Chains A and B, each alone.
Chain A
Amino acid sequence: NAGVTQTPKFQVLKTGQSMTLQCAQDMNHNSMYWYRQDPGMGLRLIYYSASEGTTDKGEVPNGYNVSRLNKREFSLRLESAAPSQTSVYFCASSEALGNQPQHFGDGTRLSIL
């Protein structure tokens, strides 16, 4: 069991470039999440998907889009990257929305120049 797998692990982009971060889980979880974590800061929810076919905005959705491709996969897209989006991005999954622990991936470290 790999748990939650994120790709890539590291990426450097130039301002204005686009990029998709990939996330897949093999635990048959219904709910998936994308967070960003800036240095020395907490976890801020970008988007989440309560179940396959649904997505909802979190705390900081501006500049991002998501796709719940199927039950396993939940991708995060930056259409036009900005330096303010330099961060570590974590994907997580849980059996259901709320009332269940979240399992996190190892993160994607994204730098935008």
Chain B
Amino acid sequence: GENVEQHPSTLSVQEGDSAVIKCTYSDSASNYFPWYKQELGKRPQLIIDIRSNVGEKKDQRIAVTLNKTAKHFSLHITETQPEDSAVYFCAASPWAGKSTFGDGTTLTVKP
């Protein structure tokens, strides 16, 4: 089955700096890669996703890049703000197959 590894497990940055979280996956059949943000005590919510026919996708301060050859994808957050502090989960899924989640990254943005 699919195995998703997420790094780092914790990340602390100064407000205004950039943050990068990386995930690697094992199943070459995976073709959908979402990122979820979970604030403390809240439910996970989708913030951005990418499909295997695209190499990069941006939405304001967040972007995701995908390297299918190396089987890794990354979340980039620029100009971080205190409200970006949360746990971020990556996931990978094949067509018509269930998603496999990474273990999460706790991002702390210091004012």
Instruction: Give A residues with C-beta under 8 Å from B.
Output: 33, 41-43, 45, 48, 50, 58, 90, 96-107
Contact = CB atoms under 8 A, between A and B. Distances in A.
A97 B98 CA distance: 6
B69 to A, nearest CB: 20
A31 B1 CA distance: 19
Most buried by A among B96, B99, B101, B103: B99
User: In terms of DSSP, what is the predominant structure of the interface of chain A?
Assistant: loop
Given A102-B46, A104-B45, A105-B43, A42 B96 contact: no
A96 B96 CA distance: 7
B43 A98 contact: no
Contacts of B104: 41-42
A98 B32 contact: yes
B49 interface: yes
Given A97-B96, A98-B98, A99-B95, A106 B43 contact: yes
Contact of B43 (A48, A90, A96, A100): A90
Given A43-B101, A98-B99, 11 more contacts: A33-B98, A43-B44, A97-B96, A98-B96, A98-B98, A99-B32, A99-B93, A100-B32, A102-B46, A103-B46, A104-B45
6 nearest interchain CB pairs?
A98-B93, A104-B43, A42-B103, A98-B97, A99-B32, A101-B46
A33 B44 CA distance: 13
Given A41-B103, A42-B104, A106-B43, A101 B34 contact: yes
A98 B31 CA distance: 9
Interface in B61-111: 89, 93-99, 101-104
